Structure 1
Amino acid sequence: MDYSTLLDEDVLAFIKETLSFYPDDLAPDDWPTQRAVYDRMADQFRAARPKGLPVCDDTIAGVPVRCYGHPSEAIILYAHGGGFVLGGLESHDDICAEIAVASGVQVVSIDYRLAPEHPHPADFEDMQAVAKDLTQQHSIVLCGDSAGATLCASVAGVWNSPRLLGQVLIYPYLGYPMNGGSFDAHANAPLLSLNDLIGFADVRGVKQETARAIPCLGNLAQLPPTFLFPAECDPLHDDAFHYHREAKSAGADMQIKTHSGLVHGWLRARHRSGRAAAAFDDILKTLKSLVG
């Protein structure tokens, strides 16, 4: 796949700048260094928080969280990406702040435990605990990117609540076999390759494939209104379409839109790429429609 012609100059520049943070001799299993590099990279693209937005750190159900905006009846619970081993409250701070302002409701960003120190199901348990706690007093929308989207979909597939208004899944991993289609066509895509996916899955430490780890094994018929936003140049692209097809067949309310000319991790390019900015606007409008 010739990404130099498939992607525009802004996206190619974003990819080049992202990769510039990763030294050639970085060991794939040196997670402290991997996290430090990832955090420095995320900070490079970090935008200033909108002025006047109240932000505070807290704990919910014993899990660290960061809250953006004033308390509201409906809340967006956001789970960050990073392959279940990278990222945290800082790496997605600006994204959550912008979502809070655009949606007009509070955003709660969850700092779930990371592998390999805390193998699955620690990540799922944290996500579910916070979601259940919030729904004691609020309606919620689940939203996440990459691994965070996986956690959202896993929770929605095993837990049904009338206070779960919907889920918004940004370039998610949903658990279908990693072969054929985009898994082959985009196996060497920029910023996320098929080998990367396999590596992250190994480190996550799933000992038994259940719906708590693999969203496509969940009860798809019970899913709340779901919006899928895969990236075109991403091995995970077709994973979202398999989920969409099976969930619709089960009777779920599902919508999907491919963001063309974009790669996995494009959220950080939303202020540097017209394509990414338009895609982020799609997501913001969708979230606002769900929280009413």
Structure 2
Amino acid sequence: MRDFALPLPLIRAVLGPVYRVSLHARLPWRAQRALIDIGSVLQPVPPGVAVNRMELGGRPAERLAPRSAGAGEPAAVLYLHGGGYAVGSLTTHRSLCGRLAAATGLPVYSIDYRLAPEHPFPAALDDAEAAFLELVTEHGYRPDRIAVSGDSAGGGLSLALAQRLIARHGYTPAALGLIAPWVDPNQAPERLRDLVVNGPWSRACALAYLGDGDPHDPGYAPLHGVLEGLPPVYVQADVDELLHPQCVDLTDALRAAGVTVEFTETRGLWHVAQLQAALVGPAAVALTEMAVFLRQAIDELPLRDLG
């Protein structure tokens, strides 16, 4: 699944300045979005994965699927991209979603949910809910044959979506795959920055997404929502990133609620390094681990709490 194997110090040396410039609290949101879209050009979709544009839940979307998908009962992954709820797009996460499709052997649906500050909470959550429901009502998937996955803000959105689906519709997804999930935007990071994210930018994103909403609403901060009854959850983070403490808190809370959890930690990578899986071997390995977890959960194979 890797196209290149570049040294980690080289990748870090390139990415640090790129993220410092593109994810800056004083830079207009439109400029941030354009810059990270441009930076995604070097992250290719793997061979053998077809990308089809569509609409899902009333939003632009893409279906990324292996051309040699296996037979059997339909199953899928709904992917919710990261970007602090204010940036990120189908473009930025196309490579990641394509590799997830290849590794799971399943179609991955990626949606372009509405972004803050133009569309504050709960717009993104409403869009994610509409997309999941349309997969069930219009595309023939059973709710328990759809895994929900996302990174950073998209990871928090995935958790909030699962909570809403269970509470409102009685639908429990097959599994959750959360890459460095941002599950409580109210929490200030303990350090100023990591390679990708910095504190002022993170706070600007949190305020933009909240708008006039209630910061204690579990849809906004799903770490404090109902965790009991959730499906198996995969959580991944690097030990040096700002969101690592939140991932530890989430994992502890999930286990206390009786949820099956697999928590994997990397060392020497960075926040959502899976975006660069085409270039970074350890990031590709981490993405494959999540794909295996999701596929096992969808196929109802036994899962152990490994962590």
Q: Which residue of 2 aligns with 1:213?
A: 220
Structure 1: how far apart are the matches of 2:290 and 2:119?
A: 30
Letter in 2 for 1:240: C
Letter in 2 for 1:246: A
Q: For residue 177 of structure 1, report the CA deviation from its aligned partner.
A: 5.7
Partner of 1:164: helix, strand, or coil?
A: coil
Q: Which residue of 2 aligns with 1:31?
A: 29
Partner of 2:174: helix, strand, or coil?
A: strand
Partner of 1:168: helix, strand, or coil?
A: strand
Deviation readout 1:21-53 (Å, 9 max, x if unpaired)? 468697624111111111111223x124423x3
Percent identity (aligned) = 26
Q: For residue 162 of structure 1, report the CA deviation from its aligned partner.
A: 4.6
CA contact (8 A) 1:233 1:261 kept: yes
Structure 2: how far apart are the matches of 1:10 and 1:125?
A: 41
Structure 2: how far apart are the matches of 1:176 and 1:125?
A: 18
CA contact (8 A) 1:11 1:269 kept: no
Identify if the C-alpha distance between structure 1 residues 54 and 117 changes in structure 2 by more than 3 Å, giving closer, same or farther: same
Q: Figure out how many residues of one structure are paired with residues of the other and give that number.
A: 278
Letter in 2 for 1:55: V
Identify if the C-alpha distance between structure 1 residues 177 and 117 changes in structure 2 by more than 3 Å, giving closer, same or farther: closer
CA contact (8 A) 1:114 1:123 kept: yes
CA contact (8 A) 1:176 1:239 kept: no
Deviation readout 1:121-167 (Å, 9 max, x if unpaired)? 11110011111222333121000111111110011123214551010
Q: For residue 271 of structure 1, report the CA deviation from its aligned partner.
A: 2.9
CA contact (8 A) 1:158 1:218 kept: no
TM-score normalized by structure 1? 0.87
Structure 2 unaligned spans of 5+ = 1-5, 300-307
Q: Which residue of 2 aligns with 1:15?
A: 12
Cα RMSD of the aligned pairs, angstroms, is: 2.3
Q: For residue 178 of structure 1, report the CA deviation from its aligned partner.
A: 2.8
Mapping of residues 40-51 of structure 1, within 5 Å: 40-44=38-42, 46-51=43-48
Deviation readout 1:79-119 (Å, 9 max, x if unpaired)? 11111111111111111111112211111001100111111
CA contact (8 A) 1:50 1:98 kept: no
Task: Tell me whether 1:174 sits opposite 2:183 in the alignment.
Answer: yes
Q: Which residue of 2 aligns with 1:85?
A: 86
Structure 1: how far apart are the matches of 2:272 and 2:260?
A: 26
Structure 1 unaligned spans of 5+ = 1-8
Identify if the C-alpha distance between structure 1 residues 49 and 176 changes in structure 2 by more than 3 Å, giving closer, same or farther: closer
Letter in 2 for 1:216: L
Structure 2: how far apart are the matches of 1:145 and 1:57?
A: 21
Task: Tell me whether 1:165 sits opposite 2:174 in the alignment.
Answer: yes
